[in-house]
Amino acid sequence: MPSESPRKTFLVALGVCLVCSVLVSTAVVGLRQRQQANRELDKLKNILLAADLYTEDAAVRQTFDAKIHPALVDLSEGQILPETPADKRLDPINFDIKVIARDPKLSRIIPPTDNLAGIGRRPDYMVIYQVMENEQVVRLILPVYGKGLWSTMYGFIALKNDIQTVTGFIFYEHGETPGLGGEIDNPRWRAKWIGKRAFDESGELKIEVVKGTVDPASSQAQYQVDGLSGATLTTRGVDNLVQFWLGENGYGPFLQNLRAKEVAHE
């Protein structure tokens, strides 16, 4: 066969394609486990960041295991489940919000009037993370998510055990524009949440993201966070998801029960 024949060219091209596709598929299958492990580690790192327990040299999994107690909360009942259900997907270690929110048996439709976070379906259960010190829960890390301008944003909001004060807020996954909505990742903006009050003394949800800058002289300043300039639509999404998840369709009943327990102990 002459070396420039179309048949030979075709066979060589086919051979190269076959070899490349085998290489790519092997790499995808071979790396899947490692990618999954890295994603999990990244999630733990973000929980530690929200809990203010992360340092560059911290051994993420060891710190997580030593300091954080995950728990499965039934959102409608507002209670931590005493035992993990048989369904492996509800095990706090395997829990994947996206998987649970897709399953009609484990999630419910949120009526459009209540659908502030734009999520459509809400899991019946969520895994929360309790930060422990001397066997006491000192902070709660609550997973939250909702629509921004371009994407669904996934994050953690941390509350002190007074169930009022925000001690951290971080997004670990979103597709907002870098430099605009993507500034929700900026540590300077994240720091603006720390010390703000989510609820007032009576337990009413008060926190909000304002457009522009908070007036420090305002009596509401303790409940307000600066908006991001040039990213009003993303910040409105953040505000909406906070209202949803800290409200009655999110962790509201759970937080209310915790407050009632605190009062009973006083």
Ligand X SMILES: Cc1cc2nc3c(=O)[nH]c(=O)nc-3n(C[C@H](O)[C@H](O)[C@H](O)COP(=O)(O)O)c2cc1C
Site for ligand X in 18-77 (CB under 6 A): none
Residue nearest ligand X, Cβ-based: 181
183 binds ligand X (CB under 6 A): no
Q: Which residues are CB-neighbours of 177 under 8 A, at least 6 positions away?
A: 149, 150, 231
209 binds ligand X (CB under 6 A): no
Q: Which of 68, 207, 231, 255 binds ligand X (CB under 6 A)?
A: 231
Q: Which of 177, 222, 256, 257 binds ligand X (CB under 6 A)?
A: 177
Rounded to whole angstroms, the Cα distance separating 211 from 7 reads 66
| Least distance (Å) between residue 181 CB and ligand X | 3
Which residue type occupies 149? L
| Least distance (Å) between residue 263 CB and ligand X | 40
Rounded to whole angstroms, the Cα distance separating 45 from 99 reads 21
SS3 state of residue 75: coil
Q: Which is nearer to ligand X, 142 or 231 (CB)?
A: 231
- Binding string, residues 129-168; x marks residues near ligand X by CB under 6 A: --------------------xx------------------
Rounded to whole angstroms, the Cα distance separating 225 from 215 reads 10
118 binds ligand X (CB under 6 A): no
- For residue 212, the 8-state DSSP code is S
Q: Which is nearer to ligand X, 123 or 181 (CB)?
A: 181
Q: Which of 123, 143, 146, 181 binds ligand X (CB under 6 A)?
A: 181
* Burial annotation 33-60 (CB, 10 A radius, 16+ → b, else e): eeeeeeeeeebbbbbbbbbebbeeeeeb
| Least distance (Å) between residue 185 CB and ligand X | 12
DSSP string, 122-157: EESEEEEEEEEETTEEEEEEEEEEEE-SSSEEEEEE
Q: Are 20 and 26 in contact (CB under 8 A)?
A: no
SS3 state of residue 169: strand
- Stretch touching ligand X by CB under 6 A, among 8-16, 46-54, 129-137, 176-184: 176-184
| Least distance (Å) between residue 229 CB and ligand X | 5
| Least distance (Å) between residue 45 CB and ligand X | 24
Which residue type occupies 217? A
Q: Which is nearer to ligand X, 180 or 210 (CB)?
A: 180
Q: Which is nearer to ligand X, 130 or 235 (CB)?
A: 235
Rounded to whole angstroms, the Cα distance separating 50 from 167 reads 8
Q: Which of 64, 67, 107, 176 binds ligand X (CB under 6 A)?
A: 176
SS3 state of residue 123: strand
Return residues touching ligand X (CB under 6 A).
149-150, 176-177, 180-181, 229-234
